[in-house]
Amino acid sequence: MRKMLLAAAMAALALPAAASADTKSVDTTAKSATFTGTITSDPLGTYDVLGYLNDGTEVRGTSFCVAPFCEEHTLKVGEGGAELRLDATSDAYNLSLQLIDPDGGSTSINDGSSSEHHETLDAIPGDWTIRVYGSPDATSFDYELKALFRTPEDVAQDPPPADE
């Protein structure tokens, strides 16, 4: 019942425009990609709160990521990667992400009060879906999301972790 109410609330907030779809690729030769955009939402962040309570923007297999509240991007990840690093920054009160890997696994990143996120993920080859939403300080916010493809050789060159 809770998910049905959330779905109805998200649908009521949704405007008929679909979320913007930008597609970029990363692989062993083109190791980085950057997505940017602007999210418009109410100052109370109702869409963001519903995403938090629902653990993302999808209800029963249906995405409610719609403009201007949410933007959806596709990141095509090539073969041969060891890590995928995502760095997201914004001028939002809260920046939220939903990452869906090519195998269908979903990771929701929404802690309620962060304007940036730094994630390291397995570089699963295929099409990743990245949904961006959040709560503005006023009525809108800009964001930048950088994806970095790291090979096993790149990871091997990392300095050892500092002793505590």
Could you tell me if 136 and 92 are in contact, meaning their C-beta atoms sit under 8 angstroms apart? yes
Joined together, the tokens standing for residue 16 give 């008929």
In a domain, 68, yes or no: yes
Look at 1 and 42; give whichever has higher pLDDT: 42
In a domain, 14, yes or no: no
In a domain, 161, yes or no: no
Alpha carbons 135 and 2: distance in angstroms, whole number: 22
In a domain, 143, yes or no: yes
Domain containing residue 113:
2-7+20-156
Domains identified in the chain, total number: 1
In a domain, 163, yes or no: no
Look at 102 and 163; give whichever has higher pLDDT: 102
123-146 pLDDT per residue, tens: 999 999 999 999 888 889 999 999
* Residues 6+ away with beta carbon under 8 Å from 2: 53
42-89 pLDDT per residue, tens: 767 787 777 777 777 777 777 788 888 999 999 999 999 999 999 999
**DSSP letter at 82?**
S
In a domain, 162, yes or no: no
* Residues 6+ away with beta carbon under 8 Å from 12: none
- Give the global pTM: 0.82
Could you tell me if 114 and 83 are in contact, meaning their C-beta atoms sit under 8 angstroms apart? no
State the CATH number of the domain containing residue 117: 2.60.120.380
Q: Is the dihedral of CA 70, 100, 161, 163 positive or negative?
A: positive
Alpha carbons 40 and 45: distance in angstroms, whole number: 10
Give the number of C-alpha atoms closer than 13 A to the C-alpha of residue 108, restricted to the C-beta side: 16
Alpha carbons 13 and 62: distance in angstroms, whole number: 15
In a domain, 84, yes or no: yes
In a domain, 12, yes or no: no
Point out the least confidently predicted range of 71-80, 111-120, 142-151: 111-120
pLDDT surpassing 60 at residue 9: no
Look at 13 and 34; give whichever has higher pLDDT: 34
